[in-house]
Amino acid sequence: MKSKLYFTAIMFLGMMGVSNAQAQNPECMTNLSIFSEHAKVKNYEAAYEPWKMVYETCPQLNNAIYVYGERILKDKMKNATGADKEKFANDLMGLYDNKLKHFASKTSQAETEVDKALVMYDNKMADDAKMYSMLSDAFTKDQENFTNPKALYIYFSSLVDENKAGRKDLQEVFDVYDAVTEKIELENEKITGKIAKLLPKEEAGTLTSKEKSRLKSYNSYSEVYGKIAGSIDSKLGPLADCSNLIPLYEKSFEEKKNDVVWVKRAVGLMFNKECTDDPMFQKLFEAQLRLDPSADAYVYGGTLKMKNGDTKGALADFDKALSLETDNEKKSKIAYKVAVINKRKGSKSTARSYAQKAIDANASNGRAYLLIANLYATSANDCGTSAFEKRAMYWKAADMARKAGRVDPSLSGSSSQAANSYSAKAPSKEMIFSSGMAGKTVTFNCWVGGSVKVPSL
């Protein structure tokens, strides 16, 4: 029996592509096979002792020690209480450290620190100060591999709670908010880029089973990032009101006016929070223009010109911004910002034009689709001569809203909410029946243009 298990373990090692001096230990080899077989069928209780023997005796034998060991110890924690639960939690954190030590190619510093921090968080083993310290250290040292959505939220949330307790200042809150939201955007852009490549195949019905699985995974992960981004904004809450932002930036301006990162983040946050009427926005914009006369600077310059009634000059600045930017994702963000500015100004047709430019530059810009949907919905009363025609506009708005969640699942919540709201305002089945419009086409002669087909009953 032992020789059979030994042979199985040898085969297992061969398939894993791992071999070292510890493979010469027959007992480790046998127990590796035993605990692996148990763990595969989730019999973690039976797997524990043979796993523990291999982990303690031959820690470099195979990465399976750490892959299955994590599952085994989490199962132990789930079924334990009190001191035993804490012991297994500490064992799990030690496992993460040893995986980094013995199989560094299979993990990273950030992943290790994040995994340990989440164990402490889930088991209430650390206060806000400890959580923030651990996650801040991991984020600072290895931001590239700090991708866990839950950890990103805890990192920011613990800082906000420390600020409320008077132990961290507001500037640090804004600095981390900017860094974390930029990270979430970056990771979600990677995912939506992958989704964009698969959507045409899905629409054509040519996805392989493997691609279907990938698309499902991408959608799920993007949705999680969207929920986390929303939670982070909620956590920031009134801290980012203009009444807090403006005095803080006024206080720090002289000291920070030559710090290009600080200036760009400050003017960006003031823009996003609609604090552009205050003279501080102009000072920050001028500082950015001096330090980094990039595309974004022209967007903010155009914003100020628009507020001063110089629409022609504003549009010239906006187009200058788009011409300066060569990166399509950045160009898309700029076009979206310009669309938002024109929407705030009430220039719906111009807003749609720039929103479409945002989509043309990056088909995954779901926010641009949501903006267009809103423009359509708020134009319903201006498009059509009858109540039916006016309400038909909501079908067009709902369709655009649904597209937003399709191309960017991180927006699926707001996308579904908007689409459902618009659909509810569209003509009911009773209205369709009584009007005799089922299956016909409604054409819009207002600025929206185009048409929509009425559903058949």
Q: Digits of tens for pLDDT over the chain (457 positions)?
A: 444 444 444 444 444 444 455 567 899 999 999 999 999 999 999 999 999 999 999 999 999 999 999 999 999 999 999 999 999 999 999 999 999 999 999 999 999 999 999 999 999 999 999 999 999 999 999 999 999 999 999 999 999 999 999 999 999 999 999 999 999 999 999 999 999 999 999 999 999 999 999 999 999 999 999 999 999 999 999 999 999 999 999 999 999 999 999 999 999 999 989 899 999 999 999 999 999 988 988 999 998 998 889 999 999 999 999 999 999 999 999 999 999 999 989 999 999 999 999 999 999 999 999 999 999 999 999 998 999 999 999 999 999 999 999 999 999 999 999 999 999 999 999 999 999 999 999 999 999 999 999 999 7
How many Å apart are CA 453 and CA 444, to the nearest integer? 11
For helices 209-236 and 170-204, give the axis angle rounded to 10 degrees: 150
How many Å apart are CA 301 and CA 289, to the nearest integer? 9
Closest CA to 327 of 180, 186, 198: 186
How many Å apart are CA 440 and CA 426, to the nearest integer? 15
DSSP tag of 442: E
Output phi, psi for 275, to 5 deg.
-100, 30
Global confidence as pTM: 0.86
- Long-range CB pairs of 216-219, under 8 A, 24+ apart, other chains included: 218/191, 218/194, 218/409, 219/195, 219/409, 219/412
